[in-house]
Amino acid sequence: MSNIATTIEQSKHLLELVLDRKSADMFYPIDGSSLPEVCDYGDNMQADNPAWSLTALLDVMPSFIEYKGQKLRLTMEKAGIWNVFYLGTEHRLNEIWFN
């Protein structure tokens, strides 16, 4: 299993959340390969099995969000592992940890 892109299952969840499949920068080949490939934007397989790298996901995430009347900003830090979250003076949301 590769950790360079979302898994097929994670990609399905992102599509259910209405993430635009055109923002995917990788895809899983229809032949069932477990390793994603980089998109060649003329490749029709991208539409069936899209995958997103961390860079592509960060590109589609808003820099700021509103939560309970407070503006939170997208924040990343590395302290042994990477931590991605939205941070405000009172709230810390959507924390994602990865190596």
Query: How confident is the chain (99 residues) per 10-residue block, as mean pLDDT?
Result: 79 90 86 74 62 89 84 82 78 57
Cα R_g (the chain), whole angstroms? 15
> Is residue 47 domain-shared with residue 76, that is, in the same domain?
no
- Looking at the fold, whether 1 and 47 belong to one and the same domain comes out as yes
Q: Which two tokens stand for residue 45?
A: 């397989």
Same-domain pairing of 1 and 45: yes
Residues 28 and 51 in one domain: yes
User: Do residue 51 and residue 65 come from a single domain?
Assistant: no
User: What distance lies between CA 30 and its chain's CA centroid?
Assistant: 21
The pLDDT value recorded for residue 33 is 67
pLDDT of residue 49: 84
* pLDDT at residue 15 in the model: 92
pLDDT of residue 87: 82
Rounded Cα distance, 95 and 50, in Å:
24
Rounded CA gap, 92 and 29, in Å? 37
Same domain, 76 and 31: no
* Total of domains in the chain: 2
* 52: nearest Cα among 76, 27, 82, 17: 27
Does this model's pTM top 0.85? no
Where in the sequence is the domain holding 23, given as residue range(s)?
1-60
Residue 80's pLDDT is 77
For residue 99, which amino acid is it? N
Asked if 8 and 40 sit in the same domain, the reply is yes
- pLDDT for the residue numbered 16: 92
Res 32: pLDDT: 67
Q: Are residues 79 and 31 in the same domain?
A: no
Report the distance separating Cα 80 and Cα 99, nearest Å: 8
